Amino acid sequence: MTETTVRDVVIIGSGPAGLTAAIYTARANLRPLVFEGAPSSTGDQPGGQLMLTTEVENYPGFVDGIQGPELMTAMRAQAARFGAEFVTEKINKVDLSSSPGRVWVGDTEYQGRAVVVATGARAKMLGLDAERRLLGHGVSTCATCDGFFFKGQEIAVVGGGDSALEEANFLTKFADKVYVIHRRDALRASKIMQERSFKNDKIEFLWDSVPVELHGESRLAGATLENVKTGERSELGVTGLFVAIGHHPNTSLFMGQLAMDDASYLLTHHGTHLNVEGVFAAGDVQDRTYRQAVTAAGSGCMAAIDAERWLESQPHASAISETPTQW
């Protein structure tokens, strides 16, 4: 048996929330251990959802925008510079019922006096039969990864939010035609994205519609759409279908341990505190409203400060007496 080390701070997740919490707690000499996740193509990989994006135009400080993966690489390096350590694995079990909190990667256990949950959210799928089989064969959740392979083709994006329209605009660089399939007759996306999309000749909107069936054996050959108002069905002969219908918080690890709302987002109180003492949440995992890189980073900072204050208030504080007071 190897001895389990107890850390002052364990951070689960490595998007803007987790890495900002890492930067702050590292600068407070709390030597955070960050579980950054394992490579994946769905949004729960190291670096989080921004790893699947291209240009980020609204993160303050970058006049000409910055590439999502580049921003995340910089945040990680900044956290590492102050002593944050990283485990490039996914946590498969947690026990937060006693202090310190316990987390496992396989059979290896780690403990943290304070735990920051910043596991983010991942793309929702349509839930259609053929979807899994055709994923990577025409069906995609990552326009930046796969758009390249649809040069000169007719494809579709499903969704009506900012992510959907950003993907649609990006995909017009490659595809001849991009249909945006949206189940309502108005968009949730920001005005600037709407205007950009309406002006784009290659984008055509299919309102009040949802895909109900996907066709093709080894690759996508088309989709059947249903008009949600009339019930009428139609065929759309697209070779690519990009799914951007929103996100689901990555909270299954915490079922039965942390309080959640009806959509499984973690419920915070007094800043970033959760229903379990010493456990804090930041970023999309607790945010069903804003879900921006900058709000995630902001709440990561809050969680770091809340965690530090909570640790200071504990009787058996370890090496945190030298904590600098200046943030």
Among 8, 146, 162, 167, binds another protein (CB under 8 A): 146
Distance CA 233, CA 266 (A): 38
Query: How far from 128 is each of 134, 161, 205, CA to CA, in Å?
Result: 10, 20, 21
Identify whether the C-beta of residue 308 lies closer than 8 Å to the C-beta of residue 21. Answer: no
Distance CA 82, CA 19 (A): 12
- Show contacts with another protein in window 53-82 (CB under 8 A): 53-54, 68-69
Terminal-to-terminal C-alpha distance of the chain: 39
Residue 299 interacts with another protein (CB under 8 A): yes or no: no
Among 14, 20, 111, 144, binds another protein (CB under 8 A): 144
Residue 46 interacts with another protein (CB under 8 A): yes or no: yes
Among 219, 229, 233, 309, binds another protein (CB under 8 A): 219
Nearer to another protein by Cβ, of 106 and 319: the residue is 106
Indicate the residue type of 245: I
Among 40, 97, 108, 234, binds another protein (CB under 8 A): 40
From the list 38-46, 178-186, 305-313, 317-325, the region that binds another protein by CB under 8 A is 38-46
Nearer to another protein by Cβ, of 221 and 228: the residue is 221
Strands of the sheet with 222-227, listed across from one edge: 209-215, 222-227, 233-236
Closest separation between CB of residue 159 and another protein, Å? 19
Residue 108 interacts with another protein (CB under 8 A): yes or no: no
Indicate the DSSP class of residue 125: P
In the chain, the DSSP E strands lie at: 6-12, 33-35, 55-56, 66-67, 85-87, 93-95, 101-105, 108-117, 121-123, 139-140, 154-158, 177-181, 203-206, 209-215, 222-227, 233-236, 240-243, 247-249, 279-281
Residue 173 interacts with another protein (CB under 8 A): yes or no: no
Residue 39 interacts with another protein (CB under 8 A): yes or no: yes
Nearer to another protein by Cβ, of 140 and 299: the residue is 140
Among 31, 137, 248, 288, binds another protein (CB under 8 A): 137
Identify whether the C-beta of residue 268 lies closer than 8 Å to the C-beta of residue 275. Answer: no
Tokens 């990680």 label which residue?
Answer: 76
Closest separation between CB of residue 82 and another protein, Å? 23
Among 22, 26, 123, 142, binds another protein (CB under 8 A): 142
Closest separation between CB of residue 12 and another protein, Å? 15
**Residues sharing a CB contact under 8 Å with residue 3, sequence separation 6 or more, in sequence order:** none
Catalytic residue positions? 142, 145-146
Distance CA 184, CA 182 (A): 6
From the list 133-141, 174-182, 298-306, 314-322, the region that binds another protein by CB under 8 A is 133-141
Identify whether the C-beta of residue 321 lies closer than 8 Å to the C-beta of residue 313. Answer: no
Nearer to another protein by Cβ, of 131 and 208: the residue is 131
Nearer to another protein by Cβ, of 62 and 310: the residue is 62
Closest separation between CB of residue 115 and another protein, Å? 21
Residues making contact with another protein (CB under 8 A)? 37-42, 45-47, 50-54, 68-69, 88-90, 106, 135-138, 140, 142, 144-146, 148-150, 219, 240
